[in-house]
């Protein structure tokens, strides 16, 4: 089947031809016809299967056919995404697919200037891709409204529930018109999603991709059992090629459970000479975009992320995904490894599992049915751990205090100068005596009339400035104020 067989308009087909797309994926084949017909839809498919095009291509056609004007301070199509990165990628896809359709596309996410978002949405837009939090901020400021929405899309709905967007979604559902088309897309279908679908959709068409076509089938999955405090050493050995991991390293994506854990891994990799960037919720939007850009261009081929990027990184060429820490939600494992094996390519996923993570591993195997092939640790791993992983006390041993040489210790004697006295070399006493003789000789040359005159202290030869006058003993105090 070709895209030309799905009933899409000529401008959309030309945009697909410019991108080099001709054959639709299974989710696109099943979703595009009912969306073109105006039906509500519930799509169940794993990440990386082409869900964005499945709802964006037919929606662009429907907006073109309606031929309505762009609403003031509102939009005709609203796409909600859970993360900033995913929202940016959906907006870019909308611009590419609708390049010849004459539709205006905008994107608003958190972490950017609210004033800029208010200004660019002042005259409205045809397609708006947004994160729920920033959208509600603009609505509360009376800078935007949802009264003109014709199509509502919730992408990665299950993750929006995991991130706590349920209250925001309920508020948005009350603001959009009841007469609308609603498209739901999710990789998993928990009970909460089913209840949400009943509230949003009216008699939806359910489309699902068979398990044989899931991304996990194209990913070689491996398991390494390692202690928690030894994971960093194992990670460095893998990245340096000192562990025979299958596949050629191009871009490596590493997942941790916490933001601080991601920063800690990046810091230790930098200390080991491995450049890496981190991306998580505490990073500003410019920092996240810069990290993604360097990762996309392979300038920094190692990226450490939390689950905020588990569904927001659509970068071809990710060869390996390393689960530095297993996710406590088993569905997140599927989304993590789905960052590799994009667009029909193959990929490698490696999971580090410590003793306290065995329960997470059990849940992952139960939910996904995946069998992870266990790899042995390197032969010299224990020696490397003991050699490079000492405690702080062992890393910085206390240095012995240096031996202080006595001020007047003689050279060559025990406890004195370390260098032994050479043959014919003067001792300290001899040097001091010679210094006094030299000083007296210079004084005689400067004051020849004083030479030979007896000094008051009984020594021969006048001292500089002595003048033969006796030294008056100074008393304490000036003597003033005596009665």
Domain range annotation of the chain: 3-210, 215-390
Q: Write out the two tokens for 374.
A: 């266990």
Instruction: Look up residue 169 and give its two tokens.
Output: 């979604």
Element housing 182 (H / E): strand 181-186
Measured CA to CA, the distance from residue 67 to residue 372 in angstroms comes to 52
What pairs with residue 254 in β-bridges? 304, 322
Residues 6 or more apart whose CB falls under 8 angstroms from that of 395 comprise none
Alpha helices in 152-200 (DSSP H): 157-162, 166-175, 191-200
List 467's β-bridge partners, or say none: none
Strands in 193-250 per DSSP E? 205-208, 219-225
| pLDDT tens digits in sequence order for the chain, 483 residues long | 899 999 999 999 999 998 888 899 899 999 999 999 999 999 987 766 788 999 999 999 999 998 889 999 999 999 999 888 889 889 999 999 998 898 999 999 988 889 999 999 999 999 999 999 999 999 999 999 999 999 999 998 887 877 778 889 889 989 999 999 999 988 777 777 788 888 888 889 999 875 433 445 678 999 999 999 999 999 999 998 888 888 888 899 999 999 999 999 999 999 999 999 999 888 887 898 899 899 989 999 999 999 876 666 778 789 999 999 999 888 788 888 888 877 667 889 999 999 999 999 999 998 888 889 999 998 889 888 887 444 333 344 443 444 444 444 444 444 444 455 555 666 666 777 766 666 666 666 656 665 555 555 444 444 444 445 555 555 545 445 444
Sheet holding 251-255, edge to edge: 277-279, 302-305, 251-255, 318-323, 347-353, 219-225, 373-374
What topology is assigned to 215-390 in CATH? Rossmann fold (3.40.50)
Q: Are 16 and 23 in contact (CB under 8 A)?
A: no
Q: Which CATH architecture has domain 3-210?
A: 3-Layer(aba) Sandwich (3.40)
Quote the tokens at residue 447. Answer: 């004051």
On whether the CB atoms of residues 138 and 110 are closer than 8 A, the answer is no
Structure tokens at 94: 């909308």
Cα atoms in the 13 Å half-sphere on the side-chain side of 98: 26
How long is the chain? 483
The beta-carbon contacts of 244-249 under 8 Å, at least 24 apart in sequence, are: 245/320, 245/348, 245/350, 245/375, 246/220, 246/222, 246/348, 247/220, 247/319, 247/320, 247/347, 247/348, 248/319, 249/301, 249/319, 249/320
How many angstroms separate the CA atoms of 381 and 226, rounded?
A: 10
Could you give the CA distance from residue 342 to residue 320 in angstroms, rounded to a whole number?
A: 12
- Reduce the DSSP state of residue 427 to 3 states and report it: coil
Decide if 3-210 and 215-390 have a common fold. yes
Under a CB-based contact definition with an 8 Å cutoff, are residues 348 and 219 in contact?
A: yes
């Amino acid at each position: 089947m070709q895209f030309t067989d799905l009933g899409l308009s000529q401008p959309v087909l030309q945009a697909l031809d410019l991108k080099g797309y001709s054959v639709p994926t299974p989710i696109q084949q099943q979703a595009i016809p009912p969306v073109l017909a105006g039906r509500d839809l519930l799509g169940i498919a794993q990440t990386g299967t082409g869900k964005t095009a499945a709802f964006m291509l037919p929606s662009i056609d429907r907006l073109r056919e309606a031929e309505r004007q762009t609403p003031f301070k509102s939009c005709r199509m609203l796409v909600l995404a859970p993360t900033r990165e995913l929202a940016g990628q959906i907006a870019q896809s909308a611009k590419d697919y609708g390049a010849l359709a004459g539709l205006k596309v905008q994107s608003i996410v958190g972490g950017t200037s609210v004033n800029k978002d208010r200004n660019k949405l002042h005259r409205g837009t045809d397609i708006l891709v947004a994160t729920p939090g920033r959208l509600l901020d603009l609505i509360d400021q009376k800078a935007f409204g949802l009264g003109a929405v014709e199509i509502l899309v919730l992408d990665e709905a299950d993750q929006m529930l995991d991130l706590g967007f349920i209250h925001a979604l309920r508020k948005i559902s009350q603001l959009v018109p009841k007469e609308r088309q609603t498209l739901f897309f999710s990789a998993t279908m928990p009970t909460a999603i089913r209840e949400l679908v009943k509230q949003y959709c009216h008699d939806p068409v359910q489309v699902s991709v068979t398990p044989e076509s899931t991304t996990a089938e194209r990913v070689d999955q491996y398991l390494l059992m390692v202690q928690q405090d030894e994971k960093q050493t194992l990670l460095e050995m893998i990245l340096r090629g000192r562990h025979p991991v299958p596949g050629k390293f191009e871009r490596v994506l590493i997942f941790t459970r916490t933001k601080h854990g991601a920063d800690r891994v990046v810091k230790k990799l930098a200390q080991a000479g491995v450049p890496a960037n981190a991306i998580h919720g505490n990073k500003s939007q410019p920092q996240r975009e810069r990290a993604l850009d360097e990762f996309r261009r392979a300038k920094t081929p190692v990226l450490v992320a939390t689950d905020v990027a588990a569904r927001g990184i659509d970068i071809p060429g990710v060869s390996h995904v390393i689960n530095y820490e297993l996710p406590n939600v088993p569905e997140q494992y599927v989304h993590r490894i789905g960052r590799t094996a994009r667009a029909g390519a193959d990929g490698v996923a490696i999971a580090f599992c410590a003793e306290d993570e065995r329960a997470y591993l059990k849940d992952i195997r139960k939910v996904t049915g995946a069998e992870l092939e266990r790899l042995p640790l390197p032969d010299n791993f224990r020696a490397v751990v003991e050699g490079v992983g000492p405690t702080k006390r062992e890393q910085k041993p206390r240095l012995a205090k240096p031996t202080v040489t006595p001020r007047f210790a003689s050279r060559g004697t025990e406890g004195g100068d370390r260098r032994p006295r050479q043959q014919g070399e003067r001792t300290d006493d001899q040097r001091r005596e010679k210094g006094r003789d030299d000083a007296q000789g210079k004084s005689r040359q400067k004051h020849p009339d004083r030479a030979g005159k007896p000094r008051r202290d009984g020594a021969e030869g006048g001292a500089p400035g002595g003048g033969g006058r006796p030294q008056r003993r100074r008393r304490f105090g000036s003597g003033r104020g005596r009665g």
